[in-house]
Amino acid sequence: MQDALPAVELAEGTDLQGYTIEAPLAVGAMGAVYRGHTTDDGTPVAIKRLLDTRHVARFEIEARLLSSLHHPRVVNVIDYFTHETGVYLVMEMVQGKDLRKILKERGNPGLPVAEAIEYTRQACEALQYVHDQQIVHRDVKPANLIDSPDNGGIVLVDFGVARQIGEQEQVDQGTVGIGTPRFMAPEVFAGGTVSPRSDVFSLAATLWTLLTGKPPVYGDRTPVGSIAGGSGAEVETCIRAGLELLPERRTSSCTAFARALGIPLAGEEGESLAISAVDRPDVPPNLLEAIVKAAAGILEAAACSISLVDPVTSELVYQASWGAGAKEIVGVRLPPGKGLAGSVVQAGEALAVPDCRNDRRFQAQIAAGTGYVPYTMLVLPLREADRTVGALSVLDRRDGNPYTTGDIARGSLFAELTVAALALDAAQYDAPTADPTAADQQTVVR
């Protein structure tokens, strides 16, 4: 396939692997979005087409990650596939009006303060969930927030320029400045490192726009209340803190932004991608979930899992996973020495596999059964004293590049921290306690 396919518009009625094109919705530098439907039952969908095939690996990694997002305020990614005409991402068709249209229709010049704040609260719920999955949206603005009666309010859409937390733009690929000026955080505009604070800036700019009818100018100190007809000191202070040009001075999270507005977020509405389905009294699920989630963020992975040796059968059992394929891999058992993780446990040495699909140790059948066949892996032994008690498996760099031996040193440090955390928590079960059943609990590494 060529690096870049011709930007030919797909005709109405074009069939693409079970989806039928109806009409174009939007066109941008990265590709185009079409209205369509499933060929078999006519379910409405939005189909995004990527033309630059140099980024296919990265696109697939990001598509798998996004397809694992499940939250009522985040657009649902249904499918992704490669076709001779391009690479495609299929999303649910969110019915409703985006906030840009609502503002245009009813703004005077902005919306009522209470209405603007409620829209912002719902956007905070979506973004906090997305950030918890180590993703930064990077293009939060009224046009990407749809008020959908079918979904119970605001739905965040268009993850076309989303990035992992902490990722820096690749200047040489011409991606600096992709986003929307005046909504885009200064560090994103300049090609700096993205973080949840980048989306907080965009969220504050969105609230400013909903209140005043127009987006803010970078560094503008005009009081919002003087434009919006009086929005209150609390709102004014919150927006100012969200629009700080230096990210370290900006409100740190969407949860904090909501609190500053006086609208604490409701309980969790989405399910974390971290899953722990194996019942082990010696390994608290929340600890395992925190470990795999942190490892995925630090090691720039689309997915991560922990497997521990079963002391009875010597099998390697996947205890917890985060990211694409998380639910399917938890509970899977590998015979001793089998698979990349089994090889690492047996040898006690870390392994970086640039192309795991062509590695003879890779258990392709098991991977296919989970619905996630990775491109590249970094597998790290979890060692206690002189023995290996498990493995930390890191799957697919989100930038599409392979893991190499140069990643082992950093990964091994995290693996050491993992063992220490598990052992420290296990020690709590060994400590003297008034609970007579506590003495019967096992430690994680014994």
Round to whole Å and give the CA distance between 224 and 266: 27
| pLDDT value of position 158 | 81
Which residues does 439 contact at the CB level (< 8 Å), separation at least 6? Answer: none
pLDDT for residue 104 is more than 50: yes
Residue 27: beta bridge partners? 32
CB contact at 8 A, 217 and 163: no
pLDDT for residue 48 is more than 90: no
Round to whole Å and give the CA distance between 84 and 265: 45
Task: Give the strand pairing for 387-397 and 351-353.
Answer: unpaired
| pLDDT value of position 268 | 44
Enumerate domains of the chain plus CATH numbers: 15-92 (3.30.200.20), 97-260 (1.10.510.10), 285-440 (3.30.450.40)
- Label residue 226 by pLDDT band (50, 70, 90): low
| pLDDT value of position 425 | 56
Percent residues over pLDDT 90 in the chain? 42
How many residues are present in the chain?
A: 446
The answer to which of 15-24, 258-267, 369-378, 411-420 has the lowest mean pLDDT is 258-267
CB contact at 8 A, 252 and 197: yes
| pLDDT value of position 347 | 94
Phi, psi at residue 199, to the nearest 5°?
-75, -30
- Label residue 96 by pLDDT band (50, 70, 90): very high
Catalytic hit among 139, 158, 199, 396? 139
- Label residue 436 by pLDDT band (50, 70, 90): very low
Which residues does 265 contact at the CB level (< 8 Å), separation at least 6? Answer: 121, 124, 125, 128, 254, 255, 258
| pLDDT value of position 228 | 58
Q: Look at the block and give the residue holding tokens 């990694």.
A: 61
| pLDDT value of position 155 | 95
| pLDDT value of position 432 | 47
| 360 class by beta-carbon count within 10 Å (0-12 exposed, 13-18 middle, 19+ buried) | exposed
| pLDDT value of position 70 | 83
| pLDDT value of position 207 | 96
The answer to which of 58-67, 145-154, 202-211 has the lowest mean pLDDT is 58-67
> What is the pLDDT averaged over residues 68-73?
85
pLDDT for residue 124 is more than 70: yes
Q: Look at the block and give the residue holding tokens 């990407």.
A: 144
| pLDDT value of position 162 | 65
Round to whole Å and give the CA distance between 127 and 273: 15
Does residue 114 or residue 285 have the better pLDDT? 114
CA distances to 193, 209, 225, 261, 432 from 108, rounded to whole Å, are 37, 12, 14, 22, 67
| pLDDT value of position 440 | 41
Round to whole Å and give the CA distance between 20 and 28: 21
> What is the pLDDT averaged over residues 279-287?
64
Question: Could you tell me which of 48, 80, 54, 58 has the C-alpha nearest to residue 1?
Answer: 54
pLDDT for residue 399 is more than 70: yes
> What is the pLDDT averaged over residues 372-394?
91
Phi, psi at residue 27, to the nearest 5°?
-130, 135
- Label residue 286 by pLDDT band (50, 70, 90): confident
Q: What is the pTM of this model?
A: 0.67
pLDDT for residue 310 is more than 70: yes
pLDDT for residue 100 is more than 50: yes
Does residue 12 or residue 274 have the better pLDDT? 12
pLDDT for residue 53 is more than 80: no
Does residue 357 or residue 145 have the better pLDDT? 145
Percent residues over pLDDT 70 in the chain? 80
- Label residue 270 by pLDDT band (50, 70, 90): low
pLDDT for residue 446 is more than 50: no
- Annotate the chain with three-state secondary structure: CCCECCCCCCCCCCEECCEEEEEEEEEECCEEEEEEEECCCCCEEEEEEECEHHHHHHHHHHHHHHHCCCCCCECCEEEEEEECCEEEEEEECCCCEEHHHHHHHHCCCCCCHHHHHHHHHHHHHHHHHHHHCCEECCCCCHHHEEEEHHHCEEEECCCCCCEECCCECCHHHCCCCCCCCCCCCHHHHCCCECCHHHHHHHHHHHHHHHHHCCCCCCCCCCCHHHHHCCCCHHHHHHHHHHCCCCHHHCCCCHHHHHHHCCCCCCCCCCCCCCECCCCCCCCCHHHHHHHHHHHHHHCCEEEEEEEEECCCCCCEEEEEEEECCHHHHCCCEECCCCHHHHHHHHHCCCEEECCHHHCCCCCHHHHHHHCCCCCCEEEEEEEECCEEEEEEEEEEECCCCCCCHHHHHHHHHHHHHHHHHHHHHHHHHHCCCCCCCHHHCCCCCC
| pLDDT value of position 197 | 93
Is residue 139 annotated as a catalytic residue, yes or no? yes
Q: Look at the block and give the residue holding tokens 């007809």.
A: 229
Phi, psi at residue 376, to the nearest 5°?
-140, 150
Q: Look at the block and give the residue holding tokens 């950093």.
A: 410
- Label residue 272 by pLDDT band (50, 70, 90): low
> What is the pLDDT averaged over residues 40-65?
78
